Chain A
Amino acid sequence: MTLASEVSAPQGQRRQKLFSAINRSAAWLSALGLGWLVPLLKIAAGDDPREQMGELRDSLFFPVLGIAAFLLAWATLAPQVQTSLGAIPGPAQVWEQTGALWQDHLAEREKEAEFYARQDERNAELVADGRADDVKWRSYTGKPTYLDQIVTSLKTVGLGFLIATIIAVPLGIASGLSKPFNGALNPLVQLFKPVSPLAWLPIVTMVVSALYVDASDAFPKALVISAVTVTLCSLWPTLINTALGVASIDKDLVNVGKVLQLSTPTTITKLVLPSALPLIFTGLRLSLGVGWMVLIAAEMLAQNPGLGKFVWDEFQNGSSTSLARIIVAVLTIGIIGFLLDRVMFTLQTAFTFSGKR
């Protein structure tokens, strides 16, 4: 209980407003994985620290302890394993390589700027010579940096996930509403669900190469191949969960719909989707998780310039910094996967009545 008796009235009012704001935002912050901020904010706002300690212990102290213990174990055990690429790097080397990758990125951007400056100069010279029709504008041909590769991976997984959602959700709704349709679709789903992305890849490569002839710059072939592979593996969770969600609508609601003689589109939008939404979102979350994992393997094989290709290239290079860089990539993949999951969870909380699933 705040020592409200010890503060003046206007301060007390401000403090009340602050607390209600913090409480409102608590749901959002915990959705974003920042739940440990809430007790800290409350303490900063003047709440009794001893009360908040309990919450702080659970949401901040123990996780930090866990991470610290892991780092310690890593730092002690890693140098004891000698591979032909050197000892397994500890946290210090991995941190060093993160810095190195950032420096590479900055250096490459600088080279790009210099290239464009040179091009501008050359073209200005040509114009001054009166050769304005010899002027050429060409884009920079340097390598994609680590950050470019992260963006490419996100783009690819986004595209794959989007296609999967567009296919899976309508099929799932139809499957949930109509038993015959479900009966027809089910064997196919069960057959294709366990297939690994690596098995799909050669077929997808052949098909995309045959059909997607004029590759645009924004969606090169390798990107489309990786995205389609992601789709093929991540569409099953969405499909199954949507079908389940739609099939398990409360029978009373369905009866109400029949009594009111609602048309099918209205039934779907007003009745089916809102009540199936929690399970649909669960399916989407699982799909995105699976898709992100599959993406890395698909990129390695399709040579799409994202994180998967980065890991593969570093392994092929076999330099003494390769293992550390691969670990940086592993951690990046983990962090991005975590953030993507949190984003989906936040969306889910926003769109459904219960954020518990």
Chain B
Amino acid sequence: MTATTCPTPPSHRFAPLLAGLALGLMASTASSAAMLDVEKDELKFGFIKLTDMAPLAIAYELGYFEDEGLYVTLEPQANWKVLLDGVITGALDGAHMLAGQPLAATIGYGTEAHIVTPFSMDLNGNGITVSNAVWELMKPHLEMDGEGKPVHPISAAALKPVIEEFDAEGRPFNLGMVFPVSTHNYELRYWLAAGGINPGYYSPEDVSGQIAADAYLSVTPPPQMPATLEAGTIDGYAVGEPWNQAAVFKKIGVPVITDYEIWKNNPEKVFGITAEFAETNPNTTLAITKALIRAAKWLDENDNANRQEAVEILSRSEYVGADAEVIAASMTGTFEFEAGDVREVPDFNVFYRYYATYPYYSDAVWYLTQMRRWGQISEDQPDSWYDEVAKSVYKPEIYLEAARLLVEEGVVDEADFPWDSTGYREPTAEFIDGVTYDGTQPNAYIDSLPIGLKTGDSVVGAEVVAAN
């Protein structure tokens, strides 16, 4: 049978033109047409069961990942080490990470790998809790207000006599934190040092972090902390929510301070990916960042109006799994200290306000200064080194590009982002001990802190040795 081509009837000649017009119109309105051409669309992200994995859960549940053409599996990890190893080996494409993890990995503290982050997941969100027994011993040393409630913030100076009592009895005072390079470790140490307690040093040979310590800090995975506190293995811990409120709920401990009171609006978690992933999959990285920015915005929208719904999602067993009422406390702006002592802390978890999602270099530098302060970085480094490391790990360029795409799509406001930032926040003194932090002068800052290594110091054996 021979094929004969039908002569094109007049109306059909316009069909391609009309189709082109229609496509053009659709491209400007349909969200599917705004999708980036992602290199890898099936992704697996790891997280730890903490309230601040919320942006990941929300981006999944509300379909923001799907809108970008990404099919994401969220997998809870057993602990921070397993999570970091997962990202480094490629088993996970990205993960909810402690702000210190990408920095430590890149400088080679722990497993070495170049990890970068284009997105800061939240500010604040941690607390320090002590056991009931320790709280009773602390109370006589606390300043009370007119109603008989402790005046906040509670300084670690109230804990110092308790540790001295323990020492007199020959008992070590043990505290738990989640990871050697975690924000909780540095915040706990900052608080202890501000109260005159030495939290211990690290040295290249001894990585326990307990050299010359008054209080002994060790690692415990967050979900196991309440159980470890109850068992008496530790006398207190620093961890993110919901594990502080969980202790109050189960009547096994009392939170004494939130990290908001240690450093107002401190950086907490970031979304970490390997540098290789970011290079090989630039569009995918942009798509992920876009979805996460949208999720963060939803969490803080309308003065935290959506937080209750977020709590319901987080209480599902595949996300955080703790009881909704325990999660709700901090997510909706209240925090219970001693049983019955509920205080308003509206910015306990900040996901979007105050440019929370911008990965500031000054945040990275603060963590590096603390690593130097406690000996994880064993030698002095020039200010330029701090700046270089921060720039190689924190990627605000990717963040701003993703934000620009979202502004063009009309889903976020231009005013929500600091387009002209140098990457360094203004110097701030909003710390519990009032010391000023200027990210552009890391060595001067290290020298201005009370307890801790200063310029020229190093840890040799079991002592701190000054260079002079």
The chain A residues found within 8 Å of chain B, CB to CB, are 84-85, 118, 122, 125-126, 129-130, 136, 138-139, 141, 143, 303, 313-314, 316-322
Contacts and interface: CB of A to CB of B under 8 A. Distances in A.
The interface residues of chain A, by DSSP majority, are classed as loop
15 contacts: A84-B227, A118-B66, A125-B30, A125-B32, A126-B32, A129-B23, A136-B69, A139-B71, A141-B42, A141-B74, A313-B76, A313-B317, A316-B223, A317-B317, A320-B323
B448 interface: no
Contacts of A122: 32
B401 to A, nearest CB: 23
A318 B26 contact: no
Interface in B9-65: 19, 23, 26, 30, 32-33, 41-42, 49, 63
A316 B49 contact: yes
Interface of B: 19, 23, 26, 30, 32-33, 41-42, 49, 63, 66, 69, 71-74, 76, 78, 223-224, 226-227, 230, 246, 250-252, 315, 317-318, 320-323, 326
B252 A84 contact: yes
Contact of A317 (B66, B227, B322): B322
B318 A143 contact: yes
Contact of B321 (A84, A125, A129, A316): A316
A188 B321 CA distance: 45
A136 B41 contact: yes
Given A130-B19, A318-B246, A319-B322, 11 more contacts: A84-B227, A84-B250, A84-B252, A125-B30, A136-B69, A138-B41, A139-B71, A141-B74, A316-B321, A318-B226, A319-B323
Contacts, number: 61
Given A136-B41, A317-B317, A84 B230 contact: yes
A321 B41 CA distance: 36
A106 to B, nearest CB: 14
A321 B322 CA distance: 9
A343 B264 CA distance: 64
A295 B63 CA distance: 36
A323 B17 CA distance: 66
Nearest to B66: A118
Nearest to A321: B323
Most A Cβ at <10 Å: residue of B69, B246, B315, B317: B317
B23 A317 contact: no
Contacts of A313: 76, 317, 321
Nearest to A118: B66
10 pairs of A and B residues whose beta carbons are closest in the complex: A317-B321, A143-B318, A84-B250, A141-B73, A138-B71, A316-B223, A319-B323, A320-B323, A319-B322, A141-B71
Contact of B317 (A126, A129, A314): A314
A141 B33 CA distance: 23
